[in-house]
Amino acid sequence: MALYAIGDLHLSFGADKPMDVFGKAWQNHAERLREGFAALGPEDVTVLCGDLSWGMDFDSCREDFLFIDRLPGKKIVLKGNHDYWWSTASKAKAFFAANGITTIDILNNNCFFYGDLAICGTRGWFYEEETGSAHDKKIMARELMRLETSLKAAGEREKYVFLHYPPIYGNYVCEEILALFEKYGVTLCCAGHIHGKGHALRFEGERAGTRYRLVSSDFLGFRPLRIAE
């Protein structure tokens, strides 16, 4: 039994959005994801850090979620910026139940427990005080609220946070999210969103007691990253 993370599956079985237009790195990526998950077992847990499906609604992303459901192990999913199908957790759960999808759950204003670890998170956001719009500020405030709700639900357990947007990237640092990490003692942050040449600007390592990992699927070679036993 192990805990894994990967983001940005960008599946499009029900949408006309082939990922190979983004270069060789994305060719046959769905099959490579299937191969990457092959080493996992039924008791393993994978957190999927957003951008799961290009489908615009539940009907157009059905085949994508059936694909995810067939991958080994349990999956905990959170929202990415391209998950346009996302509405509410209750509607997603009803969709899963109606389609016999049993291995997927939603991380949204809650947390999950894996042994002594707490799995916390939200989408996150890129926001800079000097240039951000009032709309960006509102979104950022909402994401901070959701993240803190998730961290509070974790109680005294060791806390791992999963985001779609990395809170540190190039010269960008989201001090508000990092302050929550420090306040609640977050020991690991996994995030996606960054692709291609952007990988060079990632931050991986430790800062103020929190370790950071980039888990975009193309960065990981479409193999989930093992982060805990």
**Residue-wise pLDDT tens digits, 172-202:** 999 999 999 999 999 999 999 999 999 999 9
Written as six digits, the tokens of 23 are 């270069």
Looking at the chain, the whole-number percentage of residues with pLDDT higher than 90 is 89
Work out the average pLDDT over 66-71: 98
Better-predicted residue by pLDDT, 126 or 86: 86
pLDDT for 132 equals: 65
Mean pLDDT (whole number) for 86-95? 94
Task: Look up the domain containing 117 and give its range.
Answer: 3-228
pLDDT of 131 reads 57
Contact of 109 with 152, CB cutoff 8 Å: no
pLDDT single digits (tens) 95-136: 999 999 999 999 999 999 999 999 999 999 986 544 568 888
24 φ, ψ to 5°?
Answer: -60, -35
Beta-sheet pairing, 205-207 with 168-169: unpaired
Strands 158-162 and 186-191: parallel
Q: How many domains does the chain divide into?
A: 1
Output the domain CATH number for residue 174.
Answer: 3.60.21.10
Residue 174: per-residue pLDDT: 95
What percentage of the chain reaches a pLDDT higher than 70?
A: 97
Beta bridge partners of 76: 47, 105
The token duo for 18 is: 């082939």
pLDDT at 135: 83
pTM for this entry = 0.96
Chain position carrying tokens 């899963």: 96
pLDDT (0 to 100) of residue 42? 97
pLDDT score, position 142: 96
pLDDT of res. 145: 98
Output the average pLDDT for the chain: 95
Task: Tell me what pLDDT residue 126 has.
Answer: 85
pLDDT of 20 reads 76
Span 146-166, pLDDT tens digits: 999 999 999 999 999 999 999
* Reported confidence tier of residue 56, pLDDT bands at 50, 70, 90: very high
